Structure 1
Amino acid sequence: MKNIKPYPTEEELPPIKTLNEVDFSATYSYADYMRFEFEERLEIIKGHLFKMSPVPSRIHQGISANIFVPIYNILKGKPCRVYSAPFDVRLAKKSVNDKEVFTVVQPDIVVVCDPAKLDNRGCIGAPDIVIEILSPGNNKKELINKYEVYEEAGVKEYWIISPSHKTFFRYILDNNGKFQPTKLLTEGEEVTTKIIPGFKLVLEEVFQD
C-alpha cells in the first residue's frame, strides 16, 4: 500500500520569501504573518493584508520621537510601558492561538499598562493607548478598519496625528465600549490623559522641526 504523506501543518509550511508570493485576496492569520521573510512591511486587519508605508520620512520620525520621549520619561519606574514601531500588536477575538489571530498591526507608538499582555513577540491584546502618525501611504479603508478593530479590542485611547496639518485628534473609549471623538487640537495646545497621570504633551514641541 502506497504511503500517503499527510498535508503539512501550518508550522511545517515553507517561509514566504518574497512579496510576489503573497495573495492579497486571501485571508491571513498571525501564523501566516510569522512566515513572511521579505523586507516589505505588512499589517493584517481582520484577515486582510495591507501594505505599510515605506520607511517613514524624517518629519514622521521626528514627530514620533517628540511623542515617545516624554511618555518614556514619565513612565520610568511605573508599570505602564511605551513601545515604538516596529512592534507587533496582536488583537485576538476568540483565541490567542497564532492560527486564530487575524489582526496584527504595528502602530507608531503604543502604551501598555498590563504586563500580562506583553511577550517576546510584542503585545497580545489591546494596548491602553494607540498612536498613529499619518503618512502619505495611509488610505481611508485602512484607517476605518483600524478604528473598528481598536474599538472592538477595547483600546482606551486612539490618537491620530497629522504631520501635514499639524493636528492631534483622539478617540476615547466610553463605558459602553464605543469610541467618542474629542476636540481637534493643534499647535499652541496641550494634551493630557487619565491613563498617564501628570503627563502633558505640548503640541508646539511635537510639531517643531
Structure 2
Amino acid sequence: MASKLYSASEKPVLSFEEIDPSLTYSYAHYLTWLFDDRVELIKGQIFKMSPAPAPYHQQISVHLASFLFNFLKGKPCKVYTAPFDVRFPKESKADEDIYTVLQPDICVICDPSKIDNRGCIGAPDIVVEILSPGNNKTELLHKYNVYEEFGVKEYWVLSPAEKTFLKYTLDDGGKYQPSKLFTLSEKVYTDVLPGFALDLDDVFED
C-alpha cells in the first residue's frame, strides 16, 4: 500500500472526495479532515461510516448506555457514546504514528489516564457495536481484529434486527472467546463490571 507522510503544513481537507482511498493515513491526517462525513481509520485505511443510525438503533444505544451510566455512578469506570474517537497506538502515541482510530457505539473505560480532550488513547475495557444494515462484514472483521490485538477485554455485538447479544471475552492468551448467543428474556453478566446485570428485554424494548 502506498504511504502518505504527514506534513505539519498540510491544509485542512474540506471534502471527502479529496481523500485518496488507496493511500495510508494516520491520526494526524484525520485531524485535518473537516468534512461532515464520519470516517474511521483501520491500520491506515479509511472506512466511511454508515449514514446516521435508524431510530431503533439509537434507542438501543440510549438504553444500554443509560444502564451502564447508572451502574457506574461513583465508580472509576466511565461510559462514552459515539461520536467518540478511540485511538489505538502501537508504540508511539504521536499523532503521526497512530493508524487506527475507531468510533464504537459505546465504550467503557476504567483507566482515567486514557482519557484526554480528544477522546481515548488505548484500549477501552468494553467496546459495544450495534449492527445496522450499512455495516460492512469486512469492516466488522477488521474491528474484531483490532479489539483483540489491542486487548479490549470484552467486545459486545448487538443485533437490533435479531434482538441478539454476543459477547467476546479476551482469554489469558489474548484471544477472543465467544459467548453463547443471548436473546430476549435473558440476562447478560460481565467480569469487567462485577455486579452488573443486563436485561435484554429492557435493552431491546421498543
Q: TM-score normalised by the shorter chain: which range applies?
A: over 0.9
Q: CA deviation at 1:79?
A: 0.5
Deviations 1:76-97 (A, max 9, x none): 1110010000000001112111
Unaligned runs of 5+ in 2: none
* Among candidates 107, 110, 127, match of residue 113 of structure 1: 110
Contact 2:187 2:197 in 1 (8 A): yes
Of structures 1 and 2, the larger Rg is shown by 1
Counterpart residue number, 1:98 = 95
Structure 1 CA distance, aligned partners of 2:62 and 2:166? 18
* Greater mean alpha carbon deviation, residues 107-116 or residues 191-200: 191-200
Amino acid paired to 1:111: V
Q: CA deviation at 1:11?
A: 2.1
Please report how far the alpha carbon of residue 192 of structure 1 lies from its aligned counterpart in structure 2 after TM superposition: 1.0
Which amino acid letter does the alignment assign opposite residue 171 of structure 2? D
Q: Identify which of 196, 201, 204 aligns with 2:201.
A: 204
**Structure 2 residue 175 is matched with structure 1 residue 178:** yes
Q: Which runs of 5+ in 1 are unaligned?
A: 1-7
- 1:135 is matched with which residue: 132, 136, 149? 132
Alignment partners' CA distance in 1, 2:7 and 2:137: 32
> Quick one: which of 183, 188, 209 aligns to 2:185?
188
- 1:61 matches 2:58: yes
Partners of 1:178 and 1:112 lie apart in 2 by 20
What secondary structure does 2:104 align onto? coil
- 1:100-140 CA-to-partner distances (Å, cap 9, x unmatched) read 10000000000000011110000000000000000111111
> Is the 8 Å Cα contact of residues 39 and 46 (structure 2) preserved in structure 1?
yes
Number of corresponding residues: 202
> RMSD across aligned C-alpha pairs, in angstroms?
1.1
Give aligned-pair identity as a percent. Answer: 57
1:27 aligns to 2:24 (yes or no): yes
8 Å Cα contact 2:6-2:26 kept in structure 1? no
Structure 1 residues 205, 9: closer, same or farther in 2, change over 3 A?
closer
- Number of the residue aligned with 1:5: none
Query: What is the TM-score of this pair, normalised by structure 2?
Result: 0.96
Q: Give the distance between the partners of 1:10 and 1:181, measured in 2 at CA.
A: 42
CA distance in 1, matches of 2:60, 2:6: 43
- TM-score, with length taken from structure 1: 0.95
The answer on 1:167 being equivalent to 2:164 is: yes
- Which residue matches 1:83? 80
Name the aligned partner's letter for residue 33 of structure 2: F
